Structure 1
């Protein structure tokens, strides 16, 4: 499997001929420095953790251009359908769907999920993390936006992720110390990739504090160069 980070919480997974985007926030993302055409080339699936604009991002445009199927919670999915989305695979927290060669499972996250329309907040389903499993590949857990919570232990036991994308930016998610605590307390990972930092000025600007908090651990901290695929 190859994983590409596009800044903030946007990732691409390439494995066994599949190309999957998670939370493709490109337009308006100060950390997005990649070639957009290359970032979406061959994409067949988009996975969304929750309904905030910095995670939904370019989903509608990418789905229109590529024909990709969008997998997300039912409420957010139906809202996207009302905006023109043609291919929706709806699900919700705890569910697993077979996407043809891999599965996606939505798991709990401690956050919020919605948008502001004409000054009024609208609810877009519960926030989630997403587990991606494919035979012969590492199990990937994108935590979405979240705080630490004790049920991470159940997620670890049930799904046994080996790679995790972990928000560390603070203010809207866990900060570096809490994120490192959660990784050390609940998971046995081969590698952890910090995210949700280095984009907007009001969140952490680097992964340095997280790297320091993880020092001495068996779990490898991987900080990819934005737009450059890494093999895991």
Structure 2
């Protein structure tokens, strides 16, 4: 499995059967290099969304139209995307699992909000925020936490899914900060590989992973901190 960080919370996951984007926030993302957009979308089969904020839905509508990729989102967000012209949609909700060729995705809890402000200035709720657990055939299980704080039921996510790879928000202000994120990883999970995210993009969130990396010092498992556009193979 090849995992490429595309800035903020956006990742590309590549396996033998699937080319997946999670939270593809490209346009307007200060950390994203537009020169890499073509590579990020190459062969795309699926787009998975953790919640409805613009910095996570990102370029989903355009990418779905360009590539024909299937989009997975919670039911409210999926319905909204359908109203915007997205054709291939799979909707679910917290606790549910959607099966695809080569992998499945389970919606789990996240402590966050989920909405879009329309052109008339009205905020519309787009369902609950989620984390996503991806179970692959013959590949490690991956957990994208979405935007969240620490919560004790992370222990149940570990018990039910035993994820080996964690994609963990660390930027503070809108999610847990680096020290709390490290506590979550060490108290509740047995990750073999952890990649931090949701930092280094907007100036009001943490610009580096230093706090997280320092707090993870001595923890079991590997902390990988690729540059934007950099990849890790596990």
TM above 0.5, one fold?
yes
Q: Is the 2:17–2:102 Cα contact (8 Å) retained in structure 1? A: no
- What secondary structure is seen at the aligned counterpart in 2 of 1:76? helix
Report how many aligned residue pairs link the two structures. 232
Please show how residues 101-140 of structure 1 align to structure 2 within 5 Å: 101-117=102-118, 118-140=120-142
1:209 corresponds in structure 2 to 211
Q: Is the 2:50–2:56 Cα contact (8 Å) retained in structure 1? A: yes
- What secondary structure is seen at the aligned counterpart in 2 of 1:148? coil
- What secondary structure is seen at the aligned counterpart in 1 of 2:156? helix
1:219 corresponds in structure 2 to 221
C-alpha separation between the residues in 2 aligned to 1:228 and 1:164?
A: 16
What is the TM-score of this pair, normalised by structure 1?
Answer: 0.99
Please show how residues 1-232 of structure 1 align to structure 2 within 5 Å: 1-33=1-33, 34-117=35-118, 118-232=120-234
- What secondary structure is seen at the aligned counterpart in 2 of 1:35? helix
Any unmatched runs of 5+ in structure 2? none
After TM superposition, the runs of 4+ consecutive aligned structure 1 residues lying more than 2 A away are: none
CA displacement at 1:136 relative to structure 2: 1.1
CA RMSD of aligned residues (A): 0.7
Q: Is the 2:144–2:168 Cα contact (8 Å) retained in structure 1? A: yes
Q: Is the 2:166–2:194 Cα contact (8 Å) retained in structure 1? A: yes
What is the TM-score of this pair, normalised by structure 2?
Answer: 0.98
Q: Is the 2:226–2:232 Cα contact (8 Å) retained in structure 1? A: yes
C-alpha separation between the residues in 2 aligned to 1:229 and 1:210?
A: 19
Query: What are the Cα deviations for residues 120-162 of structure 1, in whole angstroms up to 9, with x where unaligned?
Result: 1100000000011112101000000000000000000000000
